[in-house]
Amino acid sequence: MQVFGLLGNPVSHSLSPPMHEAAYEERGIDARYVTFEPDTEDIEDAIVGASALGIQGLNVTIPFKQDVLALVDPDDLAARIGAVNTVDFSGRKPTGHNTDAAGVRRAFAHHDVALDGRAVVVGAGGAGRAAAFALADRGMDVVIANRTVERAHDLADEVDGASGHGLDALEALVPDADVLVNATSVGMESDETPVPPETLHADLAVLDAVYTPIETRLLREAAATGATTIDGGWMLLYQGVAAFERWTGRDAPVDAMNEALRARI
């Protein structure tokens, strides 16, 4: 039996196990997906131990995405983003990857959104970094807005052609945007939005990384203008799809994974 899993603290809330196990069942793979919750100071021992025990792959979540970067051989994208969320143990040394970026791109692709023009990314944390690099690598003009403007400037300095702003700039930035990504936790289990509703418009595609609730206030207000709306479940799904495909070398059963995921959101 192959073993894959999730490394984080806490991880009891994770929706990854049912999603991945649905994929193993659909593809007839003898595997299990389990969760691991080491103490924060034990992350290096956790990676070494996973390798020694023959675990094939790990997803990595808060608070370990940056810590793991120094413990594996990261690919170029993970190194640029500065975070690893997927570890592959199939080689002589564990390799690190960031499938959050793939999650962003494939969520837009699933909704037939062309990634050209201007993208506004709200948030400069882990999800914001992945989104900014993913969209810039597709040739989009990326602008980053963050509550702490210095963090927006710092991220913009790392992303080709990007610019950084405070949240107060959204009023001017969003009306001219083609794509909008909320990569903050605003709206998670609360009826709030980081984006002024009057700035939303019908030519916009809006991805909200929040998936609890699945329909956030931002998405409701965007839909009311005729904008294309993409809930956070799609980003979660497609980052898992990318991890499955990297670990197994097989096409992921996207429909089965999505059905398992949405049954639990």
27-43 b/e (C-beta count within 10 Å ≥ 16 → b):
eebebebebbebeeeeb
pLDDT in tens, 17-29: 999 999 999 999 9
Q: Does residue 65 have an active-site annotation?
A: yes
Name the active-site residue from 20, 65, 80, 129.
Answer: 65
Contact 143, 151 (CB under 8 A): no
Contact 164, 152 (CB under 8 A): yes
State the chain's maximal CA–CA distance in angstroms: 55
pLDDT in tens, 60-103: 999 999 999 999 999 999 999 999 999 999 998 999 999 999 99
Domains contained in the chain, CATH given: 2-98+234-262 (3.40.50.10860), 101-230 (3.40.50.720)
pLDDT in tens, 115-170: 999 999 999 999 999 999 999 999 999 999 999 999 999 999 999 999 999 999 99
Classify residue 197 by its DSSP letter. Answer: G
> For the whole model, what pTM was predicted?
0.95
